[in-house]
Chain A
Amino acid sequence: MSEFSRRRVVITGLGSVTGFGAGVEKTWRGVMSGESALREYFPLGDRSVGPEAAGVVELAELPPAEPGLGRAARFGLAAAREAWLDAGLALPCTEPEEVGVCIGASTFPVIEDRLDRLDSLLENGRWNEVTYAALCRERPRLLTQSDSAGISSLLSDLLGAQGLSVTVQAACTSAAQAIGHAFERLRAGEGAILVAGGADSMLSMMCFTGFKLLGSLSRRWSSAQDASRPFDRTRDGFVLAEGAAMLVLEEMEHARSRGARIYAELIGYGSSCDAFSFTDMEPEGRGPAQCMRSALSDAGIEPQCVGYLNAHGTATPLNDRIESQAVRQVFGGHAERGLAVSSTKSQLGHLLCAAGAIELMLTTLAVHNGSLPPTLNLKQPDPDCDLDYIGSAGVTRDLEAAMSNSFGFGGQNGSLVVRRWRDERVQDGRAPNLKSRRVAITGVGVQSPLGLDWPAHCRAWRSGDSGLTATEAEFQRLGVMRVGRIRRAAEGTGLRNRMLRKLLTPTAASAVAAAGEAIRQANLDPEQVTSAFLCVGSLGLDQDLNVFAEGLGHSLEGERDQRRFSYNRFCRFGSALIDPLFLIRSLPNAGLCGAAIEFNMQGPNLNITNGSTSGMSAVTAAAGTIARGEASVAVTGGYDSLLKLETLLGHMGEERIAIGESGPGYYPGEGAVFFVLEDLESAGRRGAEVLAELTGWSSTHSAAERSMYGLTRAARQCLNRTGKAPATVYGDGLSLCDHDAMESAVLRKVAPGAEFRSATRRLGFAGGVTGLYSTLHAVGGLAHGECSSLVWTSDRGRNHVALSLQRFAHGEMTR
């Protein structure tokens, strides 16, 4: 990747599903006519308790779907299809390698489908592994219905897309981050079209419980339509909603050459991290202000050009006050004269991981149509929220540019800027070519079953140790005899931040520790750490199901062995026994935000949850950012664990786990691996030790039955950039016939003379970290004299990621 261009990106298609209905027209008409999509809703349909206020989608609005498909997936598919057809594109697509998907979506606790068997599933305040496994075999969709990583893959399959396929999870900033990331990659020449957006449906019983325990939801309302009151003095929390929105982002010349209708141009993206607290916002609004400034700078426009802001505006007392304060800091006097602000959450509720997408869609339409959406329920202005809010009537105004904000639990912030499309502004459509920067690895950190840092891991690896140990009794009951478990220090995690010690799961704490080791090894200046790009591939949901066991156990009524779950009893008695912090602890972005807080990392960030390609997808995203010169330092890697009951059962259900001592398949593992990536030249200038050079990276998607083609393409794209045959290939080595045969075949095709290595037999399969273990060992091999290597990973034949590395000699710096 020696050159890239900075192309322009336009929005050519829109699709949405909200409480107003399926189709952009319904949502836009509902929003602009000042209606509310919120209504009273009874989770579980049990009217003995409640109701809740919520933005609920009527499934009858959607086309029929295959049985068992999760709600968010259905919304996402409907919105993507609408957006694609709205853009005037053929389905399936005609340029598969030029098309990709990048969306925000959540994975969240679902208990509903277990409630009818609860009496047999719970035993002594814990879940019974054996009866739970039996239920999962009986109901195979039980574990996949909230699988967010699967949604981007479904969308890629729908479109026939073979380019990038990524799911982002950054709490309420997920969709903004997904769109921003898609924008950056498209701008730099990766493909011609990316469908970007978000899909979410967190209206499950445990989601309501979790948000209520945190005190996040509005409680003081007489009708659901009044519940969401952004910027109003009486606001007291947000209203949960479900839905999806997708935008077709297209390279401008591609769109113009096919005569596409252009809604607006996407011109800027800003990302930052508060690095302050998981739920409390930094009191000065530093992170949101930095993010808006960064978006304006990226867009290359002055604040006065922005005529409309679709605020994050959740209607929580804290967010609206601090967001208003941050907007004032960024826009100065323009915040009083000319910047109209509204929060469409007043009508739609909070679509969480899809919020940034629906809000950017409305912002795009505002710019396109010259009509600005209203804010409902803003009747008693709060003196602490003193911007020029649009009231319930909406406003007609021609706009030059507009911004959409998203801020999330954990402190991740994202802002996007769109500009009114004017064809006459296009003078020379060809963007000049820019020289790519070379990417160095200057730091490594690991927590694995072999050790709690890189030297310990390497020592144990070289001496032939196995990371696999005998399992605990609960896994043995399932026939799983060995696991690759991190042997954590008895004295604790060593994290400095008390709140992180309290909140982080052991897996997320390992991520923070590994990131810290990589940062220390790279010997970065504090300023470099503060502004570094933090890019993490995480597990989907870091949930210990047993946090619900006591509360659910106390929600059963009836005679012994015939006890049935009572929702009324759960609300009255059971929920009080559930840890109020469980939702925060289970956040998939906890590792990223934990690292940001622990090491004061306030820069741009991205959290990817792409199944077992998560970690390598994060590294490729970070490498691209360095190569394009958008950051000079990136801290990147990932963490994952299969050692959680539901995750393990998911892999067992697919017959991928080795049962007994010698069955086919892999043993479950866990781990965390991080790297520091740097612009090679600046690493050289500061005298950093370069451990290896990343010479190529590629992500592809394929239909499951074409996995060999998908992995081959990823590997070849990588090697084409380097022009060198690798001496060694590091792959998955899962001990599964089909996967092993596929890897062997790809090896014969792309690197016939290379030696194949895999760490899975000694470390277990650690999901999104397995490819990172491979990368780690490739770096180790280069340090011990190997010249070049290729690393790949492939997730169930869908997503494929490859990286190529070479040894770096300091004499080469001048090359």
Chain B
Amino acid sequence: MSELTETPSRSEIERSVIEIVARSLERPVSAVHLNSRFWGDLDAESLDMLDIVYAIEKRFRIRMPRLNLLTRAIALFGEEKIVERGVVTETGLALMRLSMPEVPPDWITPGMRMYDFRRLISVESFVRVVERCIASVGNVRCDTCGGPTRMANPPEMALQCELCHRILDLPSGEQLLVDDLKRSAQQLNLAIIEASAPAEIDV
């Protein structure tokens, strides 16, 4: 696998994610495209997703979100707004379209059930999350002295303040989901019922 630069470009991220996906799913790199869907195009299973996320997190030293967008949206906006008898509401569909611009709009169709969400996830969905996780890592300041941070070693999956050397957690990818949803909610005039930060995903 090719080496990464310190702050990888979009194309480097794309190449690395495709390599990881291809290796995990035992496919040639040429058979994995940005618009390949994990379920449907690549025949992935749920265990593959854990494997791929693990490899991506180690490769880029980031923490990706674990909960899916709809589950998080239910916590933020209330279940009745997002799902009705297992079927995603119009509001839920609209939230998905706004929060997942990489998904072609005609994939998000009325009548979709909660557990169909995973069918929308493509390689590009992962690339987009990785890109934003990397950006959020770059923005972390020390919570004690306010100094800039860099990757720690050891421990590997952590940051270290360049000034006071305090070890800090990598930013949780869950916050990215919340930010996406809040931004989309503004456009849809959707009220937030859970103002608190997302529950920590501890492992």
Contact = CB atoms under 8 A, between A and B. Distances in A.
A574 B50 CA distance: 17
A554 B46 contact: no
A382 B74 CA distance: 14
B117 to A, nearest CB: 11
A574 B51 contact: no
Contact of B156 (A317, A571, A573): A573
B50 A580 contact: yes
B31 interface: no
A569 B155 contact: yes
A384 B86 contact: yes
A499 B199 CA distance: 32
Interface in A49-84: 49-50
Contact of A554 (B79, B156, B202): B156
A554 B63 CA distance: 16
A382 B115 CA distance: 13
Contacts of B45: 277, 279-280, 499
Contacts of A575: 203
A235 to B, nearest CB: 12
B163 interface: no
Interface string B29-48: 00000000000000001111
Contacts of A574: 155, 157
B47 A213 contact: no
Interface stretch (A31-39, A107-115, A214-222, A415-423): A214-222
B50 A214 contact: yes
A572 B169 contact: yes
A383 B201 CA distance: 28
A611 interface: no
A580 B169 contact: no
Interface string A480-507: 0000000000000000001101110000
Contact of B50 (A553, A555, A572, A581): A581
A143 to B, nearest CB: 26
A574 B154 CA distance: 10
Nearest to A382: B86
A579 to B, nearest CB: 7
B57 A581 contact: no
B86 A280 contact: no
Contacts of A219: 199, 201
A212 interface: yes
B157 A554 contact: yes
A323 to B, nearest CB: 15
Given A213-B203, A215-B66, A579-B54, A499 B156 contact: no
Interface in A534-563: 553-556
Contacts of B202: 49-50, 212, 571
A236 B85 CA distance: 17
B38 to A, nearest CB: 13
A576 B157 contact: yes
B26 interface: yes
Interface residues of B, number: 32
B85 A213 contact: no
B158 interface: yes
B190 interface: no
Given A219-B199, A219-B201, A573 B157 contact: yes
Contacts of A498: 25-26
A271 interface: no
Contacts of B155: 554-555, 569, 572-574
B136 to A, nearest CB: 16
Interface in B43-83: 45-48, 50-51, 53-54, 57-58, 63, 66, 71, 75, 79
A747 to B, nearest CB: 49
Nearest to B87: A383
Interface in B143-166: 154-158
Nearest to A550: B156
B51 A502 contact: yes
Interface in A206-229: 209, 212-215, 219-220
Interface residues of A, number: 42
A553 B154 contact: yes
Interface in B69-110: 71, 75, 79, 85-86
Contacts of A457: none
A83 to B, nearest CB: 37
A463 to B, nearest CB: 37
A572 B158 contact: yes
A499 B30 CA distance: 20
B65 to A, nearest CB: 12
Contacts of A573: 155-158, 167, 169
A578 B149 CA distance: 24
Interface string A365-406: 000000000000000101110000000000000000000000
A584 B203 contact: no
Nearest to A283: B115
Nearest to A321: B115
B183 to A, nearest CB: 23
A122 to B, nearest CB: 12
Given A576-B57, A577-B156, A580-B54, A571 B203 contact: yes
A60 to B, nearest CB: 29
A278 interface: yes
B158 A503 contact: no
A410 to B, nearest CB: 12
A41 to B, nearest CB: 14
A581 B66 contact: no
Nearest to A385: B86
B203 A554 contact: no
B47 A279 contact: yes
A757 interface: no
A233 interface: yes
A581 B157 contact: no
A554 B155 CA distance: 5
Contact of B47 (A209, A278, A383): A278
Q: Which of A212, A213, A317, A554 has the most CB of B within 10 A?
A: A554
A586 to B, nearest CB: 14
A503 B51 CA distance: 10
Contacts of A49: 202
Interface string B162-203: 000001010000000000000000000000000000010111
Contacts of B169: 572-573
Interface string A566-604: 000101111111011100100000000000000000000
Contacts of A213: 50, 203
A581 B201 contact: no
Given A502-B26, A554-B156, A572-B169, 11 more contacts: A277-B45, A280-B45, A321-B115, A499-B48, A502-B47, A553-B154, A554-B157, A572-B158, A573-B158, A580-B54, A581-B50
Interface of B: 24-26, 45-48, 50-51, 53-54, 57-58, 63, 66, 71, 75, 79, 85-86, 115, 154-158, 167, 169, 199, 201-203
18 contacts: A212-B202, A213-B50, A215-B50, A215-B66, A236-B71, A278-B47, A280-B45, A317-B115, A383-B86, A502-B26, A555-B155, A571-B203, A573-B156, A573-B167, A574-B155, A576-B57, A580-B53, A581-B51
Give the top 4 A-B pairs by smallest Cβ distance, nearest first.
A573-B155, A554-B155, A212-B203, A576-B157
